[in-house]
Amino acid sequence: MNWIGEIAGLSASFLFAITAIIYTNVGRLVGSQITNRMRISFALLYLLILNLILFREPLPFSADSSRWAWLMISGIVGLALGDMFLFQSFISVGARLGSLLLSLAPIFGSVIAWVFFGETLTFMQIVGITLALAGIGWVVMSHEEPENTPRGHTQRGVIFGILAGLGQAAGFVLSKQGMTENFPPFQANAVRMLAAAIFVWLWTVLQGQAGATFSTIRKHPRALWLIAIGAFIGPVLGVTLSLLAVQRVEVGIASTLTALSPVAVIPISYFMFNEKVGWRAIAGTLLAVAGVAMLFLA
Protein backbone atom coordinates (compact mmCIF):
# COMPACT_ATOMS: atom_id res chain seq x y z
CA MET A 1 0.00 0.00 0.00
CA ASN A 2 1.32 3.46 -0.94
CA TRP A 3 1.65 5.58 2.20
CA ILE A 4 4.11 8.16 0.86
CA GLY A 5 1.81 11.09 1.60
CA GLU A 6 0.97 9.95 5.13
CA ILE A 7 4.59 9.21 6.01
CA ALA A 8 5.65 12.58 4.59
CA GLY A 9 3.04 14.35 6.73
CA LEU A 10 4.15 12.56 9.90
CA SER A 11 7.82 13.25 9.16
CA ALA A 12 7.02 16.93 8.63
CA SER A 13 5.33 17.13 12.04
CA PHE A 14 8.46 15.77 13.76
CA LEU A 15 10.66 18.27 11.93
CA PHE A 16 8.28 21.08 12.88
CA ALA A 17 8.49 19.90 16.50
CA ILE A 18 12.28 20.22 16.43
CA THR A 19 12.13 23.71 14.95
CA ALA A 20 9.50 24.71 17.50
CA ILE A 21 11.99 23.94 20.26
CA ILE A 22 14.76 25.82 18.44
CA TYR A 23 12.67 28.88 17.64
CA THR A 24 11.19 29.08 21.12
CA ASN A 25 14.69 29.69 22.46
CA VAL A 26 15.63 32.02 19.60
CA GLY A 27 12.42 34.02 19.95
CA ARG A 28 13.30 34.83 23.54
CA LEU A 29 16.58 36.36 22.34
CA VAL A 30 15.55 38.39 19.29
CA GLY A 31 11.74 38.25 19.16
CA SER A 32 9.34 36.20 17.06
CA GLN A 33 8.99 38.63 14.15
CA ILE A 34 12.74 38.91 13.57
CA THR A 35 13.03 35.14 13.85
CA ASN A 36 10.31 34.74 11.22
CA ARG A 37 11.94 37.18 8.79
CA MET A 38 15.34 35.57 9.03
CA ARG A 39 14.14 31.96 8.88
CA ILE A 40 12.22 32.66 5.67
CA SER A 41 15.31 34.36 4.19
CA PHE A 42 17.60 31.45 5.07
CA ALA A 43 15.03 28.94 3.80
CA LEU A 44 14.79 30.73 0.45
CA LEU A 45 18.58 30.73 0.10
CA TYR A 46 18.78 27.00 0.87
CA LEU A 47 15.97 26.18 -1.57
CA LEU A 48 17.55 28.17 -4.39
CA ILE A 49 20.80 26.24 -3.93
CA LEU A 50 19.07 22.85 -3.63
CA ASN A 51 16.95 23.45 -6.73
CA LEU A 52 20.02 24.54 -8.67
CA ILE A 53 21.71 21.26 -7.71
CA LEU A 54 18.67 18.99 -8.21
CA PHE A 55 16.98 20.63 -11.21
CA ARG A 56 19.73 22.87 -12.67
CA GLU A 57 17.66 26.00 -12.07
CA PRO A 58 17.13 27.87 -8.80
CA LEU A 59 13.44 28.45 -9.57
CA PRO A 60 11.06 26.59 -11.93
CA PHE A 61 11.21 29.16 -14.72
CA SER A 62 9.84 26.61 -17.19
CA ALA A 63 6.60 26.22 -15.19
CA ASP A 64 3.51 27.92 -16.60
CA SER A 65 2.17 31.16 -15.18
CA SER A 66 -0.92 29.59 -13.58
CA ARG A 67 1.25 27.25 -11.50
CA TRP A 68 3.36 30.20 -10.37
CA ALA A 69 0.21 32.12 -9.45
CA TRP A 70 -1.20 29.30 -7.30
CA LEU A 71 2.11 28.81 -5.49
CA MET A 72 2.90 32.50 -5.03
CA ILE A 73 -0.53 33.19 -3.51
CA SER A 74 -0.12 30.06 -1.38
CA GLY A 75 3.20 31.34 -0.05
CA ILE A 76 1.77 34.73 0.88
CA VAL A 77 -1.39 33.33 2.48
CA GLY A 78 0.11 30.28 4.19
CA LEU A 79 3.70 31.22 5.04
CA ALA A 80 3.66 35.01 5.37
CA LEU A 81 0.18 35.97 6.59
CA GLY A 82 -0.54 32.67 8.36
CA ASP A 83 2.62 32.82 10.46
CA MET A 84 2.20 36.54 11.11
CA PHE A 85 -1.29 35.94 12.51
CA LEU A 86 0.01 33.00 14.54
CA PHE A 87 2.77 35.01 16.20
CA GLN A 88 0.32 37.81 17.02
CA SER A 89 -2.03 35.22 18.52
CA PHE A 90 0.80 33.89 20.70
CA ILE A 91 1.47 37.42 21.97
CA SER A 92 -2.20 38.06 22.81
CA VAL A 93 -3.43 34.74 24.21
CA GLY A 94 -0.27 32.68 24.77
CA ALA A 95 1.26 29.73 22.95
CA ARG A 96 -1.16 27.13 24.35
CA LEU A 97 -4.41 28.67 23.12
CA GLY A 98 -2.72 29.93 19.96
CA SER A 99 -1.55 26.40 19.10
CA LEU A 100 -5.01 25.04 19.84
CA LEU A 101 -6.61 27.55 17.45
CA LEU A 102 -4.03 26.67 14.79
CA SER A 103 -5.14 23.04 15.00
CA LEU A 104 -8.40 24.16 13.34
CA ALA A 105 -6.46 24.22 10.06
CA PRO A 106 -7.36 20.63 9.05
CA ILE A 107 -11.07 21.40 9.47
CA PHE A 108 -10.79 24.62 7.45
CA GLY A 109 -8.72 22.82 4.82
CA SER A 110 -11.22 19.99 4.43
CA VAL A 111 -14.11 22.43 4.02
CA ILE A 112 -12.27 24.65 1.50
CA ALA A 113 -11.12 21.65 -0.54
CA TRP A 114 -14.66 20.23 -0.54
CA VAL A 115 -16.46 23.49 -1.43
CA PHE A 116 -14.11 24.70 -4.17
CA PHE A 117 -12.52 21.52 -5.53
CA GLY A 118 -14.94 18.70 -4.64
CA GLU A 119 -12.45 16.82 -2.47
CA THR A 120 -14.25 14.43 -0.12
CA LEU A 121 -13.32 12.26 2.87
CA THR A 122 -14.62 8.86 3.90
CA PHE A 123 -16.36 8.34 7.24
CA MET A 124 -13.31 6.52 8.64
CA GLN A 125 -11.03 9.38 7.57
CA ILE A 126 -13.30 11.93 9.26
CA VAL A 127 -13.25 9.86 12.47
CA GLY A 128 -9.46 9.60 12.27
CA ILE A 129 -9.06 13.36 11.82
CA THR A 130 -11.45 14.00 14.72
CA LEU A 131 -9.52 11.68 17.05
CA ALA A 132 -6.16 13.16 16.01
CA LEU A 133 -7.36 16.73 16.54
CA ALA A 134 -8.87 15.81 19.91
CA GLY A 135 -5.55 14.29 20.91
CA ILE A 136 -3.65 17.39 19.77
CA GLY A 137 -6.05 19.58 21.76
CA TRP A 138 -5.62 17.45 24.87
CA VAL A 139 -1.83 17.58 24.59
CA VAL A 140 -1.82 21.35 24.05
CA MET A 141 -4.16 22.04 26.98
CA SER A 142 -2.13 19.78 29.27
CA HIS A 143 0.88 22.07 28.91
CA GLU A 144 1.28 24.56 31.74
CA GLU A 145 2.37 27.95 30.51
CA PRO A 146 4.71 30.08 32.62
CA GLU A 147 3.13 32.78 34.75
CA ASN A 148 4.81 35.53 32.73
CA THR A 149 3.21 34.40 29.47
CA PRO A 150 2.26 37.63 27.66
CA ARG A 151 -1.45 38.39 27.52
CA GLY A 152 -3.17 41.11 25.61
CA HIS A 153 -6.55 41.55 24.03
CA THR A 154 -8.00 38.05 24.28
CA GLN A 155 -10.70 38.51 21.65
CA ARG A 156 -8.21 39.87 19.14
CA GLY A 157 -5.80 37.01 19.94
CA VAL A 158 -8.50 34.41 19.28
CA ILE A 159 -9.35 36.07 15.97
CA PHE A 160 -5.66 36.06 14.99
CA GLY A 161 -5.42 32.36 15.95
CA ILE A 162 -8.41 31.47 13.80
CA LEU A 163 -6.97 33.49 10.91
CA ALA A 164 -3.67 31.63 11.33
CA GLY A 165 -5.46 28.29 11.00
CA LEU A 166 -7.44 29.57 8.03
CA GLY A 167 -4.27 30.90 6.38
CA GLN A 168 -2.44 27.61 6.81
CA ALA A 169 -5.42 25.68 5.45
CA ALA A 170 -5.84 27.96 2.44
CA GLY A 171 -2.10 27.73 1.80
CA PHE A 172 -2.34 23.94 1.66
CA VAL A 173 -5.30 23.99 -0.73
CA LEU A 174 -3.65 26.54 -3.03
CA SER A 175 -0.40 24.56 -2.98
CA LYS A 176 -2.22 21.41 -4.03
CA GLN A 177 -3.62 23.23 -7.07
CA GLY A 178 -0.14 24.44 -7.97
CA MET A 179 1.42 20.97 -7.73
CA THR A 180 -0.76 19.07 -10.15
CA GLU A 181 0.85 16.54 -12.51
CA ASN A 182 3.48 15.57 -9.87
CA PHE A 183 5.20 18.94 -9.82
CA PRO A 184 8.33 18.62 -7.58
CA PRO A 185 7.63 19.79 -3.99
CA PHE A 186 11.14 21.27 -3.66
CA GLN A 187 10.43 23.58 -6.60
CA ALA A 188 6.97 24.40 -5.27
CA ASN A 189 8.45 25.25 -1.87
CA ALA A 190 10.99 27.59 -3.49
CA VAL A 191 8.25 29.57 -5.25
CA ARG A 192 6.16 29.77 -2.06
CA MET A 193 9.17 30.85 0.01
CA LEU A 194 10.11 33.49 -2.58
CA ALA A 195 6.62 35.01 -2.37
CA ALA A 196 6.66 34.87 1.44
CA ALA A 197 10.12 36.51 1.61
CA ILE A 198 9.11 39.35 -0.73
CA PHE A 199 5.92 40.00 1.24
CA VAL A 200 7.56 39.81 4.68
CA TRP A 201 10.45 42.12 3.81
CA LEU A 202 8.23 44.65 2.04
CA TRP A 203 6.08 44.72 5.15
CA THR A 204 9.20 45.10 7.30
CA VAL A 205 10.45 48.03 5.22
CA LEU A 206 7.04 49.74 5.31
CA GLN A 207 7.07 49.39 9.11
CA GLY A 208 10.57 50.84 9.27
CA GLN A 209 11.90 47.72 11.03
CA ALA A 210 14.56 46.59 8.55
CA GLY A 211 17.44 48.41 10.26
CA ALA A 212 16.34 47.27 13.72
CA THR A 213 16.17 43.68 12.48
CA PHE A 214 19.78 43.59 11.33
CA SER A 215 20.96 45.54 14.37
CA THR A 216 19.36 43.00 16.71
CA ILE A 217 20.78 40.06 14.76
CA ARG A 218 24.31 41.51 14.94
CA LYS A 219 24.02 41.61 18.73
CA HIS A 220 23.03 37.93 18.89
CA PRO A 221 25.22 35.88 16.50
CA ARG A 222 24.26 32.64 18.27
CA ALA A 223 20.62 33.31 17.44
CA LEU A 224 21.54 33.71 13.77
CA TRP A 225 23.22 30.30 13.74
CA LEU A 226 20.20 28.67 15.39
CA ILE A 227 17.83 30.35 12.93
CA ALA A 228 19.98 29.09 10.04
CA ILE A 229 19.88 25.51 11.37
CA GLY A 230 16.17 25.67 12.11
CA ALA A 231 15.41 27.09 8.66
CA PHE A 232 16.84 24.02 6.97
CA ILE A 233 15.03 21.59 9.27
CA GLY A 234 11.60 23.26 9.22
CA PRO A 235 10.89 25.65 6.32
CA VAL A 236 13.03 23.62 3.88
CA LEU A 237 12.69 19.92 4.78
CA GLY A 238 9.52 20.13 6.87
CA VAL A 239 7.52 22.33 4.51
CA THR A 240 8.68 20.34 1.47
CA LEU A 241 7.50 17.12 3.12
CA SER A 242 4.18 18.76 4.00
CA LEU A 243 3.78 19.75 0.33
CA LEU A 244 4.52 16.18 -0.69
CA ALA A 245 1.84 15.04 1.76
CA VAL A 246 -0.79 17.46 0.44
CA GLN A 247 0.10 16.45 -3.12
CA ARG A 248 -0.46 12.74 -2.41
CA VAL A 249 -3.45 12.69 -0.02
CA GLU A 250 -6.52 14.76 0.80
CA VAL A 251 -5.94 18.20 2.28
CA GLY A 252 -7.70 17.31 5.54
CA ILE A 253 -5.50 14.27 6.10
CA ALA A 254 -2.25 16.02 5.13
CA SER A 255 -2.92 19.04 7.33
CA THR A 256 -3.90 16.80 10.26
CA LEU A 257 -0.69 14.78 10.05
CA THR A 258 1.49 17.87 9.75
CA ALA A 259 -0.32 19.46 12.71
CA LEU A 260 0.91 16.75 15.09
CA SER A 261 4.00 18.71 16.15
CA PRO A 262 2.63 19.42 19.68
CA VAL A 263 2.38 15.64 20.11
CA ALA A 264 5.78 15.01 18.52
CA VAL A 265 7.40 17.47 20.94
CA ILE A 266 6.59 15.17 23.88
CA PRO A 267 9.02 12.29 23.12
CA ILE A 268 11.67 14.80 22.02
CA SER A 269 11.36 16.72 25.29
CA TYR A 270 11.28 13.53 27.35
CA PHE A 271 14.24 11.71 25.82
CA MET A 272 16.45 14.70 24.92
CA PHE A 273 15.70 17.14 27.75
CA ASN A 274 14.44 14.77 30.50
CA GLU A 275 11.24 16.78 30.89
CA LYS A 276 8.41 15.23 32.89
CA VAL A 277 5.32 14.17 30.95
CA GLY A 278 1.92 14.21 32.66
CA TRP A 279 -0.85 11.66 32.21
CA ARG A 280 -3.00 14.07 30.18
CA ALA A 281 -0.20 14.56 27.65
CA ILE A 282 0.24 10.79 27.40
CA ALA A 283 -3.51 10.23 27.00
CA GLY A 284 -3.70 12.94 24.34
CA THR A 285 -0.76 11.38 22.51
CA LEU A 286 -2.41 7.94 22.52
CA LEU A 287 -5.65 9.46 21.22
CA ALA A 288 -3.78 11.27 18.44
CA VAL A 289 -1.90 8.07 17.56
CA ALA A 290 -5.22 6.21 17.34
CA GLY A 291 -6.50 8.87 14.95
CA VAL A 292 -3.37 8.63 12.82
CA ALA A 293 -3.69 4.85 12.74
CA MET A 294 -7.24 5.20 11.42
CA LEU A 295 -6.02 7.57 8.70
CA PHE A 296 -3.43 5.00 7.60
CA LEU A 297 -5.99 2.16 7.65
CA ALA A 298 -8.52 4.27 5.77
pLDDT digits over 6-44, tens only?
999 999 999 998 988 888 788 778 888 899 999 999 999
* Band of pLDDT at residue 211, cut at 50, 70 and 90: very high
Domain borders along the chain are 4-297
Question: In whole angstroms, what is the distance from residue 250 CA to residue 237 CA?
Answer: 20
**What integer pLDDT is reported at residue 145 of this predicted model?**
54
Average pLDDT over residues 183-192: 97
**138 within 8 A of 80, measured Cβ to Cβ:** no
**What integer pLDDT is reported at residue 265 of this predicted model?**
80
**What integer pLDDT is reported at residue 284 of this predicted model?**
86
**What integer pLDDT is reported at residue 155 of this predicted model?**
78
Taking alpha carbons only, the member of 266, 265, 263, 249 closest to residue 291 is 263
Buried b (16+ CB within 10 A) or exposed e, 164-198: bbbbbbbbbbbbbbbbeeebbbbbbbbbbbbbbbb
**What integer pLDDT is reported at residue 2 of this predicted model?**
78
pTM of the model: 0.89
Average pLDDT, the chain: 88
Average pLDDT over residues 41-65: 96
Average pLDDT over residues 206-217: 94
**What integer pLDDT is reported at residue 143 of this predicted model?**
64
* Band of pLDDT at residue 87, cut at 50, 70 and 90: confident
Please give the C-alpha separations between residue 190 and each of 69, 80, 160, 193, in angstroms, as whole numbers: 13, 14, 26, 5
* Band of pLDDT at residue 200, cut at 50, 70 and 90: very high
Residue type, 10: L
Q: Which segments within the chain are labelled E, that is strand?
A: none
